[in-house]
Amino acid sequence: MTELLDSGLFGIATPRRWGGSELPPQAWVEVIAEIAAACGSTGWVYGVMLGHMWLVSQFPDTAQTEVFGAPDTLVASLVRLGGSTPQRVSGGYRWRGAVGRFCSGVDYAGWVVAGGTVQPDGDSRWFLIPRRDFEIEDDWYTSGLRGTGSKSIRVPDAFIPDHHSISMQALDSGEAPGRAVNGAPLYGLPGSTWAFVLPATALGIARGAVAAVRTRLRQRFGDLDQERLAEQSAIIARFARAASDVEVANMLLLARARRMLEVAYSPMERAQHRRDIAYAVQQARRATNDLMELAGGSGLYETATIQRMWRDCNAAAAHAGLAWEPAAVAYGRALLDV
């Protein structure tokens, strides 16, 4: 995390007025994937927190000043905090006894952005909560993405001022407060699109798996004569298919990232966006599973790079927002106009 902060890479999604470079989404994909190709957990935490730099940029200017004005501040998030609901009070919101899981990288975060539905009016909002107002529960013991530290948090009792909250509806329509103060088209994107940082991790892991298995197969086949090499044609063809699937998935994700700033997000475009990222991720997952099989028995050892990538890619692809079936149904319904 220190190396990532020192590199300035967290600034690629941050507005220029706060010292960032506000690079376009395809740059985010490329950087996340490159990091994840070496370490899936690092790629995941970096990607998620990078998305949060963009998300904080949607909040009122006062909140942005608090976050971006402090050096090396990082932000974690939870899509939903459960156990209780935020209550509207004078000057803001009161949230007591809230709990939530999967807060990636929270050990390094000075803030958490959490989603909740306000009672009694039912308004869905994002809330910016400082480190002093939440507790971390050490419960991240998993089969994949172990290094992300995606632990649970608890909010015993927090007062959240008005400027630390934005409407999810306003964010999804591109009308959040940060759009006006930051100016660039990047900060007028629909709120739901920021989650495209998640598939970049799975794609990067799959690319790393291709490289790892390529090294292994070159060692295995490098000294074979042509006759014995011909006997391995099925394995070579399967490797070529997996490598091609990963490359095509990467192309699809980059095309989607470029398109985000080129078109208006109609209902059909939203369905296609969700389809593309889910399809790319599940393609990467299948390819990584094939590569794990090609690695043979040696890939089972904990010291083998491929088994870590296999576990991490399946863990990343298990995220609810990257599942294929819901995305396929939403796209199919939009395509059929039903």
Q: What is the CATH number of the domain that holds 266?
A: 1.20.140.10
Backbone angles phi, psi at 151, to 5 degrees: -80, 170
Q: 117 has which bridge partners?
A: 124
111 and 253 share one domain = no
Domain count, the chain: 2
28 lies in some domain: yes
The last residue of a domain, from among 159, 181, 203: 181
The last residue of a domain, from among 152, 181, 210: 181
The CATH number of residue 91's host domain is 2.40.110.10
Query: Residue for token digits 């000294």?
Result: 223
Parallel, antiparallel or unpaired: strands 87-89 and 151-161:
unpaired
Tell me the whole-structure pTM to 2 decimals. 0.95
Residue type, 314: N
161 and 210 share one domain = no
- Which SS3 state, helix, strand or coil, does residue 286 take? helix
pLDDT at 223 over 80: yes
What is the per-residue pLDDT across 30-89, written as a single tens digit (0 to 9) for each?
A: 999 999 999 999 999 999 999 999 999 999 999 999 999 998 999 998 888 889 999 999
303 lies in some domain: yes
> What's the pLDDT score for residue 116?
94
Furthest C-alpha separation in the chain: 80
39 and 125 share one domain = yes
Query: Residue for token digits 């070579």?
Result: 236
153 and 266 share one domain = no
> What's the pLDDT score for residue 191?
78
Q: What is the DSSP letter of 93?
A: E
> What's the pLDDT score for residue 3?
95
pLDDT at 173 over 90: no
176 and 206 share one domain = no
161 and 208 share one domain = no
187 lies in some domain: no
pLDDT range class, residue 190, cuts 50, 70, 90: confident
17 and 61 share one domain = yes
**What are the DSSP E strand ranges found in 134-176?**
135-137, 151-161, 165-167
23 and 147 share one domain = yes
Which domain does 332 fall in, by range? 192-336
Counting DSSP H helices and E strands in the chain, the numbers are 12, 8
92 lies in some domain: yes
> What's the pLDDT score for residue 307?
96
**How many alpha carbons lie under 13 Å from residue 284 in its C-beta half-sphere?**
39
141 and 13 share one domain = yes
146 lies in some domain: yes
> What's the pLDDT score for residue 264?
84
Q: What crossing angle do the helices spanning 25-36 and 197-221 adopt, rounded to 10°? A: 40
The per-residue pLDDT of the chain, averaged, comes to 94
- CA angle (76, 78, 79) in 5-degree steps: 135
Parallel, antiparallel or unpaired: strands 165-167 and 124-130:
antiparallel
On the 0-12 / 13-18 / 19+ scale of CB atoms within 10 A, 266 is exposed
Cβ atoms 95, 86 nearer than 8 A:
yes
167 and 197 share one domain = no
Query: Residue for token digits 């409407």?
Result: 167
186 lies in some domain: no
The last residue of a domain, from among 162, 181, 200: 181
124 and 85 share one domain = yes
26 and 169 share one domain = yes
